[in-house]
Structures are given as structure tokens and as C-alpha cells.
């Protein structure tokens, strides 16, 4: 059948995109954003079951089931952009303008875009049927499981040989080594990454990789995969130099092969080395057929890098909407971290330009290599290579093709001096992944074009898209932001508010060192005026973090936000919600019965939250003590849903019940929740503990994420949901219970001491120089010598913890806060209007109040009636 009717084609032009990878995602996103008149209907046909995902970050998935879905994923919820998963295109008819899928469905098109990407080639050698590749999520998931299976079967680490010493090969070998495999690399070049690095850089990189226990076989290639007699299993590999090595698993990552077979069968012209030949308009040799990404051959070259694929997608989006954009060159700049090693190259890194001058700093013993390539007069920057320390890359990359203001050696961080501060031209490219110029970033900072100025780094990243993909340009984006704000006369101040010139971090340390214990003392020492609704809650949080005293005593009640003053969350109608703590989500039937009785007796609306807690809505302020007395007597504690504190520790059932669980995630979750309960921080925070790599507790989306492995626990940090969702980053692997808790202690206390007000852990880590590497140095390696101090601070919190509602109920003076009317303490608020919905009472709308459908509540016991 033909899926797109002629009538629908007349109302909208049909665009079919073949392939569901990053290039297809970028094209769909661009068309979704630009096609405001909805003139196009976009159908993306993807062979994979997954939403389009970040292939560059595939190696991170080796450590666990990481969600690599590309953002924004909401583009697929549009009514004019449709993603067809598990759909393989089998044939293209460029005359009839149709695409036929494997299921026999025929899609008619007006415009066809090939984004079919590439495949990972495996050479036709003996035993190649047993080889694996490193290309997709499914490939990576298989390899992780196979390494574990082989280790169990042989009683030793799996022996894995990776063929290919380029980007993918190094990522694969490093990731498999971190899983415990005995990894080795065979590479046909004389040094690693021979296509991107010169010999000096390749040798420096090789020294570091070999130092990590990964064996290197250079200048040779596999000639045969050796197998058992029945041909069922791999036993080793024979190289072209005659050498043989033992191996249980062989993985090929030797480059890409453009998937151009559909195009070739349809009569579309190919490039000299394969791929669909395109011009600067990204059009193929056939009218209304385009190509983008790895399948596109531009000037005879197919590339597997992100930036060119994104640029091609933007060009095609513009062309389909009537524009004249052009793709004029391939940006092959690369910056990444391979097996923990910084590697970057850009421009004419191999100095192929005639009379090019190379300025090199090499320290083989440290694995450090830095090179800048310039014109013969040392003026114009042509390229560069960095291994071991790639910090100059961010500031040098935008200067490509421009004159340097100082001698080239001054830009090498290995020389020990600060690089010159060149004033970048507006045309310089700051973010090659998203093709964002320096001028575009500056315009976003100042709100040029009528948009709101973007005066913070998160806002600037969102509105300009700079730094939202690989992240290598974020330091430069931040530098541009601060420079532009300074030009406007704005001081780059971290002052807490008009009353405190200190930042939150500075104030925290000052209060800690001087042992100040009241707002008045702190204000008189460091501030002016009387304080405000910005600084008061911050000071309250600082005091709570350092003293663990009852948060409403000694004048601290007036500093708190509304929710903290009531020890409950205020809702839209002025009532409050009650959230008892349920550590790890584990609860007895008896305690469930208590919650059910409380909700029934007080007429509360009940809801199970996404964090495995039970929320009861609709309590009046004066009812809170009565409700909590019942709950406290039953053994419940406050869940701190109202505070900038630990909300919950989510867990799966782990090894206790689940047949896939490898560790007791429930016990660990309960232990963590009882340890960190009540801990006040700059922002609320959440934990998650998953009992295996299937990640049912969604730990990677939490500030602290713990995922079980056969060897212990992997620790992820800095994840969060909310307005700017962020995946946690891997901090440490295979930790025992005590080391895991010790690292979390250090991480949380370091965050509490140094983060800004209302700054979530993800944003805090973004702002730290060095990001996750800096955090790892502090938390794991104790680079600042703070480990003991941070652990003692957390121990003091644990020792001094007191449930806030139990403390409230024990003191009549504290209970006086919970009165609806001070001059009539026994009176209840009579103005609570409710309507029945699905067997419970919810707040009435204005219209429902006016129509007489609402129930007016008063008193304590509330009957529930049906409509």
C-alpha cells in the first residue's frame, strides 16, 4: 500500500528521511524549528529500535545502561515530524518518487534525504564470521555482556583484541578494559590515531595507553581469526607479521563504510570511494534527492565526524524551505577524552601546507605532546595537535586561519604561561558541532534581535546551542560571556545579593571558620541592611548544614521559605502536603495501613510520586501536628519534601527478588537514605540505586546514582531531571560499600560548601573548572587534602540528625506555629472548596465553585462522596 495519499501530498510536501542517526535527528529538529508554516511533513525511517542517540558517547554505555538519546527528543512528538522505528528501507524509485520498506509499505515523497550513515567493515579473513563490531547501542550492550560471560566461563578476565587504533578503536579498548577485560589493540599504522596525529603525538598517546595495561600491536593487521576445532569460539588472532596472540573476542573498529547500496541501486551517482556524491547544496545527481552525514561524499570524501553531519543537515533544511545555504568545507577538528587522556587536533594538524612551521613541546615521559602549526612567518594559525593536555584547544580552534597576537609558543600550556587573550572576530567558529560563531554567542549575550539577553552560562548554551553537544567549547563560551558582560560595565560578581558582597561559597566558609550561629551575627559581620528573601534562606541553609540544629529555633524560623516554616509543601489552594519518609521505597503493610487511615480520617488526596513516596494533599496548617503525631508514633519521619535537602533514594528490588539483580540495592538505598536524610544543601537532591545495569531505579538521572556491578558499585554524580535534564557522569567504578559511602560523603559536602544558591549538582559541575575530572581529583584522589575534613563534616551531620517533626511535636512552643488564626487558635479555615474526582477530593476550580458543584470543607473528618 502507499502510505501517503495524493491528497495529503498536495496539502503538505512529503519529506522522507532514510536513517535514524544523529544527522537525521539534526535535520528533523531543524525542520521542526524552521518550518513554522508546517509546509512539510517529515517521515524518518529508522532501522533501529532506539530513538536517535549520541554515537560519540557510546563508550559511556559500556559502564551501564546509559540513556544516550539526543535532545531535543520532543521533536518526535510533533504532528508533522514522524519517526518510524524498526523500519528498513529496501528500495528507492526515483522516477515514481517512492520508498518501499521491508514490510512492503510504500512511502511516497516529494523530497528524499539519505542519512543512512555507515557500517563498520570487517575484512574477509578466515574466522571473520565470529568477529564483532563497535558501532551501535546493540553492539556495545552485547560486548559488555559478552565480556562478563567470558570471564565467568574461563574464570579469568576476558581477552579482547580490538582491531583499529583510531577514535572508535581506542574508545572500545578503553571501555572494555574498564569492564575488567584484558584488552589489546592491533593497528596497521606505526602509531595510534595515525590519520589525525603525527608521529610524536601518536607515540605520546601510545605511551599513555600502554601504561593503562592495554597491549599495543602496531604496524600490522589481523590476517586470520583462530578458532576452536568446531569453529564455534575464538581462540586467538594471527597478524600479517606472522605473530599470533591469544584472544576470546575480536572487535573491529577500523573505519566506516558508507551505506550507499540503496542509492547505487536507484542509479544515484556515488563518489570515487563510495558514498553519495553531493555538491555544496548537499543535493545528489538526482533531482529532489539529498544526502547528509557519513553517507555523503563531498569532494570525494566521506567523514564520520559530528560537525560536518550537522552542517549538512542545516544546509538541507534551509534548501527544503527555499533557502540557498551551502556546505563548503569539512571541519575535521576533534577533541575527546580517550581512556582518560585528552586528545585534540584541528586544521592542518599534520603540517601538509607548503613551508608550514611546526612549534612543538614534547615530554614523552609524561605522555605530553603539544604542537601548533603556522605559516612560515609564524603569524597565521594553520592547525594544532594536543595529547595529554588539550587545554589550549578551546581558545586556539576559533583562531584557525587568523593571525596570532603573540609568538606561537606562548599558546602552549606546557610552557607554563597563560595564553594571550586574543580578541576573537565575530566570524570565528566557537562551536563546530552546531556551527555557532563567536558573533552569534555575543549577540545572544546582549539579546540582539529582540531576544532576552542570556547572561548566565546555562541560558547562553540553551539560546545559542553552543556547547550543547560535545562540550569542548564550554570554557570558551563562558569566557566570551564574562568578557561581554564586562564590556557592558557589568561586574562579574558572585555576590549573594545586595546585602552580602560575598558569594555563597565565601559566606559558607566564613561562617564555618568563625563558627557564627545566628543571622544577626552573620549580617553584622559580613552584610548590610536587614537581609532579603534571597539571602535569608541561604543563611538558614548554611546554618542548618553546619549545625544540624532545629531549623526553626533561635530566630531561624523567620529566615526560612514558606515551606520550611511549615515543615510541609504549600499547595495552590493554601493547604499543605504531607510526605513521610519511606527509605528506599520499602514499607511494611502495617505502615501502609497507617497512611491509609490518616488519609481517610483527614480526607487527604493521595498520590504515589515518581520517587517511590506517598504524598497526601489537602491538609490545613492546623491539622499538620495531628497528622504527624499519628505518623511519628507509627515510626515515620519527615520526608523533607519541603526543604532543599535529600528528597529520596529510589531503588529497584535488587538481588533480593529480581533474577537479574547482582547487588542488594534495597539495603544500600535504605542505608544511604538514613545517612543523608535531613542534610541541607544549596538545592534539593535525589539519589538512585539500581541492582544491575538494567537501571530500573533510573540512577543516572539523579544527583547521586549508584549502579550495581558484579564487583561492587559504579558511582555516577551530577544527574538531575527538571527544566534542564542531565545524565549523571561516571565518577568511580566497582566500589565496595564503605568506599562508595565515603566518596558520596566527600562529594556531597564539597557540593554543599562550594555551590551557588539554588544551584543543582549538574550546573555546579558545569561551572567547575575541569568538571568531572576536577570532582574526581577532589573526591577520589583527595587533590585538595580535604577528604578527612569533608568526611568529618558528614559524620557530624549523621551523629546530630533529629527528625524535624518529632522535635516539633515534643515542644509546645514549636507547635504554636501551626495555627490558622493566631487570635483564634482553635478555629479552622472554612474556605476549602473541593470536588470529587476518581473517588478522591481535589481543589475546585473557579467555575466549579460558581456552579455549586464544590463541597465546602470545615472540621477535621471529611466524608468522600461520589458524583
Question: In 430-503, which residue ranges form alpha helices assigned H by DSSP?
Answer: 438-446, 457-464, 474-487
Cell 557592558, residue? 488
d(CA 458, CA 443): 16
Cell matching residue 114: 539519505
- What are the Cα distances from residue 295, in Å, to 133, 258, 714? 18, 5, 37
The one-character DSSP state at 2 is B
d(CA 432, CA 411): 21
Which helix (DSSP H) or strand (DSSP E) does residue 704 occupy?
Answer: strand 704-709
| Count of H-run helices and E-run strands, the chain | 26, 39
Beta bridge partners of 361: 370
Q: Which of 195, 140, 129 is nearest to 164 (CA)?
A: 195
Inter-residue contact 662 to 655 (CB < 8 Å): yes
Which helix (DSSP H) or strand (DSSP E) does residue 108 occupy?
Answer: strand 106-108
Total Cβ atoms within 10 A of residue 449: 7
Q: Which of 454, 429, 442 is nearest to 310 (CA)?
A: 429
The sheet carrying 111-114 orders its strands as 81-84, 40-45, 13-18, 111-114, 289-291
Instruction: Enumerate residues 6+ apart whose C-beta is below 8 A from 409.
Output: 359, 361, 372, 415
Q: Which of 633, 596, 603, 635 is nearest to 619 (CA)?
A: 603
Q: Which of 422, 466, 417 is nearest to 440 (CA)?
A: 466
3-state secondary structure 200-265: HHHHHHHHHHHHCCCEEEECCCEEEEEECCCCCCEEEEEECCCCEEECCEEEECCCCEECCHHHHH
Query: Is residue 692 part of an annotated ligand binding site?
Result: yes
Beta bridge partners of 45: 18, 84
Largest CA distance in the chain: 95
Total Cβ atoms within 10 A of residue 632: 20
Query: Is residue 470 part of an annotated ligand binding site?
Result: no
Instruction: For helices 737-754 and 504-514, give the axis angle rounded to 10 degrees.
Output: 110
d(CA 457, CA 481): 7
Query: Is residue 473 part of an annotated ligand binding site?
Result: no
The reply to whether omega before 72 is within 30° of 0 (cis) is: yes
The C-alpha angle 384, 387, 389, rounded to 5 degrees, equals 100
Kindly compute the dihedral angle of the four CA atoms of residues 831, 836, 837, 838, in this order, to the nearest 10 degrees: 140
Query: Which SS3 state, helix, strand or coil, does residue 669 take?
Result: helix
Count of alpha carbons within 13 Å of 76, Cβ hemisphere only? 18
What is the bridge-based pairing of β-strands 832-837 and 569-570?
A: unpaired
d(CA 827, CA 858): 10
Q: Which of 97, 101, 108 is nearest to 85 (CA)?
A: 101
Query: Is residue 535 part of an annotated ligand binding site?
Result: no
d(CA 20, CA 282): 18
Cell matching residue 671: 542505608
Inter-residue contact 862 to 654 (CB < 8 Å): no
The sheet carrying 840-843 orders its strands as 840-843, 832-837, 855-857
Which residues carry a binding-site annotation for siroheme?
696
Which residues carry a binding-site annotation for [4Fe-4S] cluster?
652, 658, 692, 696
Which residues carry a binding-site annotation?
652, 658, 692, 696
Amino acid at each position: 500500500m502507499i502510505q501517503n495519499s495524493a491528497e495529503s501530498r498536495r496539502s503538505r510536501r512529503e519529506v522522507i528521511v532514510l536513517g535514524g542517526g544523529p544527522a537525521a535527528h539534526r535535520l528533523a529538529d531543524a525542520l521542526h524549528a524552521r518550518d513554522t508554516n508546517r509546509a512539510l511533513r517529515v517521515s524518518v525511517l529508522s532501522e533501529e529500535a532506539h530513538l536517535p542517540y549520541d554515537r560519540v558517547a557510546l563508550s559511556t554505555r559500556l559502564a551501564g545502561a546509559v540513556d544516550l538519546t539526543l535532545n531535543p527528543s520532543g521533536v518526535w512528538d510533533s504532528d508533522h515530524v514522524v519517526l518510524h522505528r524498526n523500519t528498513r528501507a529496501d528500495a528507492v524509485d526515483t522516477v515514481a518518487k517512492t520508498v518501499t520498506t521491508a514490510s512492503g509499505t510504500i512511502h511516497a515523497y516529494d523530497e528524499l534525504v539519505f542519512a543512512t550513515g555507515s557500517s563498520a567493515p570487517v575484512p574477509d579473513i578466515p574466522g571473520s564470521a565470529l568477529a564483532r563490531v563497535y558501532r551501535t547501542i546493540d553492539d556495545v550492550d552485547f560486548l559488555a555482556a559478552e565480556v562478563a560471560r567470558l570471564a565467568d566461563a574461563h574464570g579469568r578476565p576476558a581477552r579482547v583484541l580490538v582491531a583499529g587504533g583510531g577514535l572508535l578503536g581506542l574508545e572500545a579498548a578503553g571501555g572494555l578494559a574498564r569492564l575488567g577485560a584484558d584488552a589489546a589493540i592491533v593497528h596497521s599504522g606505526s602509531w595510534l590515531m595515525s590519520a589525525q596525529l603525527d608521529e610524536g603525538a601518536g607515540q605520546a598517546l601510545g605511551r599513555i595507553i600502554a601504561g593503562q595495561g592495554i597491549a599495543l600491536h602496531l604496524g600490522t593487521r589481523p590476517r586470520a581469526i583462530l578458532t576452536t576445532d568446531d569453529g564455534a569460539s575464538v581462540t586467538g588472532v594471527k597478524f600479517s607479521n606472522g605473530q599470533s596472540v591469544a584472544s576470546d573476542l575480536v572487535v573491529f573498529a577500523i573505519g566506516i563504510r558508507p551505506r550507499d547500496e540503496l542509492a547505487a541501486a536507484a542509479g544515484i551517482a556515488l563518489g570515487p570511494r563510495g558514498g553519495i556524491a553531493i555538491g555544496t547544496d548537499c543535493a545528489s545527481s538526482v533531482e529532489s534527492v539529498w544526502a547528509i552525514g557519513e553517507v555523503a561524499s563531498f569532494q570525494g570524501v566521506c567523514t564520520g565526524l559530528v560537525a560536518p553531519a550537522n552542517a549538512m543537515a542545516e544546509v538541507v533544511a534551509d534548501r527544503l524551505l527555499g533557502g540557498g545555504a551551502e556546505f563548503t568545507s569539512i571541519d575535521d577538528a576533534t577533541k575527546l577524552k580517550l581512556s582518560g587522556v585528552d586528545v585534540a587536533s584541528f586544521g592542518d594538524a599534520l603540517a601538509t601546507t607548503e613551508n608550514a612551521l611546526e612549534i612543538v613541546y614534547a615530554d614523552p615521559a609524561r605522555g605530553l605532546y603539544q604542537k601548533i602549526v603556522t605559516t612560515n612567518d609564524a603569524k597565521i594559525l594553520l592547525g594544532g595537535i594536543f595529547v595529554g593536555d588539550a587545554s589550549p584547544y578551546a581558545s586556539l580552534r576559533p583562531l584557525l586561519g587568523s593571525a596570532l597576537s603573540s609568538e606561537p609558543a606562548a599558546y602552549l600550556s606546557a610552557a607554563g604561561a597563560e595564553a594571550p587573550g586574543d580578541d576573537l572576530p565575530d566570524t570565528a567558529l566557537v562551536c563546530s558541532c552546531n556551527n555557532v560563531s563567536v558573533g552569534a554567542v555575543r549577540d545572544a549575550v546582549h539579546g540582539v534581535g529582540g531576544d532576552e539577553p542570556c547572561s548566565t552560562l546555562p541560558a547562553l548554551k540553551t539560546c545559542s546551542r553552543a556547547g550543547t553537544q560535545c562540550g569542548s567549547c564550554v570554557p570558551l563560551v563562558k569566557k566570551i560571556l564574562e568578557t561581554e558582560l564586562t564590556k557592558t560595565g557589568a561586574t562579574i560578581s558572585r555576590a549573594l545579593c545586595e546585602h552580602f558582597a560575598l558569594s555563597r561559597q565565601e559566606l559558607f566558609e566564613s561562617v564555618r571558620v568563625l563558627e557564627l550561629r545566628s543571622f544577626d551575627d552573620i549580617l553584622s559581620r559580613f552584610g548590610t541592611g536587614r537581609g532579603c528573601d534571597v539571602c535569608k534562606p541561604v543563611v538558614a541553609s548554611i546554618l542548618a548544614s553546619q549545625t544540624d540544629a532545629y531549623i526553626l529555633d533561635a530566630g531561624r524560623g523567620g529566615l526560612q521559605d514558606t515551606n520550611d516554616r511549615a515543615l510541609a509543601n504549600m499547595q495552590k489552594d493554601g493547604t499543605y502536603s504531607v510526605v513521610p519518609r519511606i527509605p528506599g521505597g520499602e514499607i511494611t503493610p502495617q505502615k501502609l495501613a497507617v497512611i491509609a487511615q490518616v488519609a481517610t480520617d483527614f480526607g487527604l488526596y493521595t498520590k504515589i510520586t515518581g520517587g517511590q513516596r506517598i504524598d497526601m494533599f489537602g491538609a490545613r496548617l492546623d491539622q499538620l501536628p495531628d497528622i504527624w503525631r499519628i505518623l511519628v508514633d507509627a515510626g515515620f519521619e519527615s520526608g523533607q519534601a519541603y526543604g532543599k535537602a535529600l528528597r529520596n533514594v529510589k531503588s529497584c528490588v535488587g538481588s533480593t527478588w529480581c533474577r537479574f539483580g547482582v547487588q542488594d540495592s534495597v539495603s544500600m538505598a535504605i542505608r544511604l537514605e538514613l545517612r543523608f536524610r535531613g542534610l541541607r544543601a544549596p538545592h534539593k537532591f535525589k539519589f538512585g540505586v539500581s541492582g544491575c545495569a538494567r537501571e530500573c531505579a533510573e540512577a543516572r538521572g539523579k544527583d547521586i546514582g549508584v549502579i550495581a556491578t558484579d564487583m561492587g558499585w559504579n558511582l555516577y554524580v551530577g544527574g538531575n531531571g527538571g527544566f534542564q535534564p542531565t545524565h549523571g557522569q561516571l565518577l568511580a567504578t566497582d566500589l565496595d560499600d564503605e568506599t562508595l559511602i565515603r566518596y558520596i560523603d566527600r562529594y556531597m559536602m564539597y557540593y554543599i560548601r562550594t555551590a551557588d544558591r539554588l544551584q543543582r549538582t549538574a550546573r555546579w559541575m558545569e561551572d567547575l573548572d575541569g568538571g568531572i575530572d576536577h570532582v574526581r581529583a577532589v573526591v577520589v584522589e583527595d587533590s585538595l587534602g580535604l577528604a578527612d575534613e569533608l568526611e568529618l563534616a558528614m559524620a557530624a551531620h549523621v551523629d546530630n540528625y533529629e527528625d524535624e517533626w518529632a522535635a516539633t511535636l515534643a515542644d509546645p512552643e514549636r507547635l504554636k506555629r501551626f495555627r490558622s488564626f493566631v487570635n483564634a487558635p482553635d478555629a479552622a479555615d472554612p474556605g476549602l472548596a473541593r470536588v470529587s474526582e476518581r473517588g478522591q477530593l481535589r481543589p475546585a476550580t473557579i467555575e466549579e465553585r460558581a456552579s455549586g458543584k464544590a463541597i465546602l470543607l470545615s472540621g477535621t473528618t471529611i466524608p468522600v462522596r461520589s458524583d
